[in-house]
Chain A
């Protein structure tokens, strides 16, 4: 029931992905109906693979998950970092708060209630913005990837103007989520247990494992911090609304102070926490690549042992040799592609951090400056008369 058109039109892309004119994707519109969010996926392309140069389709969150899973399951992409799936839209927090607000309505003044309601609506909107952003980035990561952008299922996702849910069900039956489960159950023992031959991957492994646990911790602490910030902002609303019943002057000050503080919290939410959360997921995707390569290495080592055994027994040697060759090829292919992917991932991550941290700092300065102006104006007001 909420249309984000204005915001959607005026925002900028968080990570500079939508640069290649041959395939431009964005989510210009989204609608929220009860729990379900309907995204409008808009594509502009010069590629002949598509039937039209410009088109839009409605998609649900589950459609994105389907796309992600099919990519993960595709053997050919085992050597690539698959962009992390966007998380499910979560309106739990504002909805719960709205419920509590309804229950507490009798104890508040009309003013307080309206202000709290406004604040919750803003929170709702913030969740909405976040989810649109994260779904959009997922698609843009795909479109800017040399190999993944050509994926047939990706093209179907963008173009198919019917409901995808039928296709989704079929896909699940085909793949059975085997690979995904494999990756999930494959714990770090596999990676750390394998004797690494390549320095590059040894370093990457150490780095990613360590970095992942640290960024996970930072994400959790950032979320905790922004929750506290919200609590403080909420207190300001109550105070300002109560002051309002006394006089116009004081309350406006407090209310505007709240507005700035509140916005700092939601901006922090959008920028810093989202940044950390996103890269946490991205690093998990990089780790998944390492898992797959480690598994390929394990397979190769097994095939070596099997070949030795076969040679010893002088039985089925050609099959064993072929199997060993295949394993080696697969491993080499994954290593080569993996190296490329991880290197470009590093560069991408640094650029994204830089951009986000700068924007966040500039925003904080702007808000803090606003506060100063506000307070100075208030002092002048009190001093005049």
Chain B
């Protein structure tokens, strides 16, 4: 059901592709066609387990799939938040260094969770749980959308296995901590001297786009927060207006006009509810989505860093090889045959390493390039806004005949 459309992202991070090697792109597109798979994840039924500070939320994770590698076509397990973090940790350890963009999990939130634990049955904690549920769903959906990650047995285990061993060491993965980690790596990398060649230019440009997108996304996030606030205000004011018009309608002595004004009040009231829905939808979807993508961009930067690390390893191996050759030369000159053999062995060793690391670097580069191309942006909330406006039309059309009835 879910097919990542690698060639159709609407943000410039992937849209403005420079094409230095068209052959590679063709290969990629071919691969895309082969990558048709069908798997759908839904996360439902958040349930509070336990009491007090040891309580946690358990979520139902349901998988529907036609892929043969799974034990059946539909199955369900219960997972808690730390399980998701544990999955991320495993995937990031295994695949990160290879240049894969491992989707980051939702952020930990001590405040949000504490409210839930303490048992505050207020709308804000319900909202928090819902936000988290939706975020976990989006996270898992992204993981299974990734053809390489899907093959990982840890993913299969996460989806299928009834009881998962408790994940430890998830403390390190708070949202802020994750980003700090990425930022440190990026800074370290930029301090390295980098030799520019053709393909490096592509990566350099992509990285710049990613960083600029990150900046803009954060700005938009702030603006959207402002939008949501104003929307809430609008809905309050619309409600106040609706009540006032209803009062006016009841004072009106012309019956038809009185009815029309009451209708107007009703419509304005419905519009207020709609605005409220739009406000909470904006908040649930767009702002959340933005936060998702800010984190995803962090992961993209992470994969660039991995490429740099691979490059650095290769460069270091080359310098080491150089050193060993110099040692050999010195030993030849000094005429120490026993040490010479050792030196020759070491040279062989390092030559192999250089070859290996060069291959690694090429492989990681290719993976990063593929990953960046695959990186896509889905925008959910437009669909919900569409629904909202469709409803809006219905309400106004209901109002119109009443207004015409005033003779």
The residues of A with any CB-CB pair to B shorter than 8 Å are 207, 210-211, 214-215, 217-218, 221-222, 224-225, 227-229, 231-232, 235-236, 238-239, 242-243, 245-247, 249-250, 253, 346, 350, 353-354, 357-358, 361-362, 364-365, 368-369, 371-372, 375-376, 378-379, 382, 384-385
Whether B230 and A247, one on each chain, are in contact in the complex, defined by CB atoms closer than 8 angstroms, is: no
Whether A246 and B234, one on each chain, are in contact in the complex, defined by CB atoms closer than 8 angstroms, is: no
A residues near B264, Cβ cutoff 8 Å:
357
Whether B7 and A221, one on each chain, are in contact in the complex, defined by CB atoms closer than 8 angstroms, is: no
Additional A-B contacts beyond A235-B224, A242-B219, A375-B382 (15; CB < 8 A): A207-B251, A221-B237, A224-B241, A225-B234, A232-B234, A235-B223, A239-B223, A242-B223, A245-B212, A246-B13, A247-B10, A353-B257, A357-B403, A369-B393, A382-B10
Does B168 lie at the interface of the complex (its beta carbon under 8 Å from any beta carbon of A)?
no
Tell whether A365 pairs with B248 under 8 Å between CB atoms, given A239-B220, A378-B382.
no
The contact of B244 among A214, A253, A369, by CB within 8 Å, is A214
28 A-B pairs with C-beta separation under 8 A: A211-B248, A214-B248, A215-B248, A218-B245, A218-B248, A221-B241, A222-B241, A225-B241, A227-B237, A228-B238, A238-B223, A242-B216, A245-B216, A246-B12, A247-B10, A247-B15, A250-B10, A250-B11, A353-B260, A353-B406, A354-B257, A354-B403, A364-B392, A368-B393, A375-B386, A379-B382, A379-B386, A382-B10
Whether B237 and A224, one on each chain, are in contact in the complex, defined by CB atoms closer than 8 angstroms, is: yes
Complex: chain A residue closest to B14, CB-CB: A247
The contact of A358 among B248, B385, B390, B403, by CB within 8 Å, is B403
B residues near A249, Cβ cutoff 8 Å:
10
Whether B247 and A217, one on each chain, are in contact in the complex, defined by CB atoms closer than 8 angstroms, is: yes
Chain A: interface secondary structure?
A: helix
In Å, the complex CA distance between A188 and B12 comes to 67
A residues near B245, Cβ cutoff 8 Å:
218
Interface residues of B in 247-279 (CB under 8 A from A): 247-248, 251-254, 256-257, 260-261, 264
In Å, the complex CA distance between A210 and B251 comes to 7
Interface residues of B in 355-387 (CB under 8 A from A): 379, 382-383, 385-386
Tell whether A247 pairs with B400 under 8 Å between CB atoms, given A218-B248, A225-B237.
no
Tell whether A228 pairs with B396 under 8 Å between CB atoms, given A354-B260, A358-B403, A379-B386.
no
The distance from the CB of A42 to the nearest CB of chain B, in whole angstroms, is: 32
In Å, the complex CA distance between A261 and B384 comes to 16
In Å, the complex CA distance between A15 and B15 comes to 53
Whether A372 and B389, one on each chain, are in contact in the complex, defined by CB atoms closer than 8 angstroms, is: yes
The distance from the CB of B288 to the nearest CB of chain A, in whole angstroms, is: 16
B residues near A242, Cβ cutoff 8 Å:
216, 219-220, 223
Whether A232 and B227, one on each chain, are in contact in the complex, defined by CB atoms closer than 8 angstroms, is: yes
Complex: chain A residue closest to B385, CB-CB: A375
Which 4 residue pairs across A and B have the least CB separation, nearest first? A385-B8, A228-B234, A235-B227, A221-B241
The contact of A376 among B226, B254, B386, by CB within 8 Å, is B386
Tell whether A221 pairs with B406 under 8 Å between CB atoms, given A239-B223, A350-B254, A385-B5.
no
Does B77 lie at the interface of the complex (its beta carbon under 8 Å from any beta carbon of A)?
no
Whether B386 and A231, one on each chain, are in contact in the complex, defined by CB atoms closer than 8 angstroms, is: no
In Å, the complex CA distance between A253 and B10 comes to 12
B residues near A215, Cβ cutoff 8 Å:
248
The distance from the CB of B3 to the nearest CB of chain A, in whole angstroms, is: 12
A residues near B234, Cβ cutoff 8 Å:
225, 228-229, 231-232
The distance from the CB of A373 to the nearest CB of chain B, in whole angstroms, is: 10
Does B404 lie at the interface of the complex (its beta carbon under 8 Å from any beta carbon of A)?
yes
Whether A385 and B7, one on each chain, are in contact in the complex, defined by CB atoms closer than 8 angstroms, is: yes
A residues near B8, Cβ cutoff 8 Å:
382, 384-385
Does B231 lie at the interface of the complex (its beta carbon under 8 Å from any beta carbon of A)?
yes
B residues near A357, Cβ cutoff 8 Å:
260, 264, 403
The distance from the CB of A141 to the nearest CB of chain B, in whole angstroms, is: 20
Whether A382 and B216, one on each chain, are in contact in the complex, defined by CB atoms closer than 8 angstroms, is: no
Whether A365 and B397, one on each chain, are in contact in the complex, defined by CB atoms closer than 8 angstroms, is: yes
Q: Which of A235, A346, A362 has the most CB of B within 10 A?
A: A235
Whether A350 and B257, one on each chain, are in contact in the complex, defined by CB atoms closer than 8 angstroms, is: yes
The distance from the CB of A280 to the nearest CB of chain B, in whole angstroms, is: 11
In Å, the complex CA distance between A364 and B271 comes to 11
B residues near A229, Cβ cutoff 8 Å:
234
Does B240 lie at the interface of the complex (its beta carbon under 8 Å from any beta carbon of A)?
yes
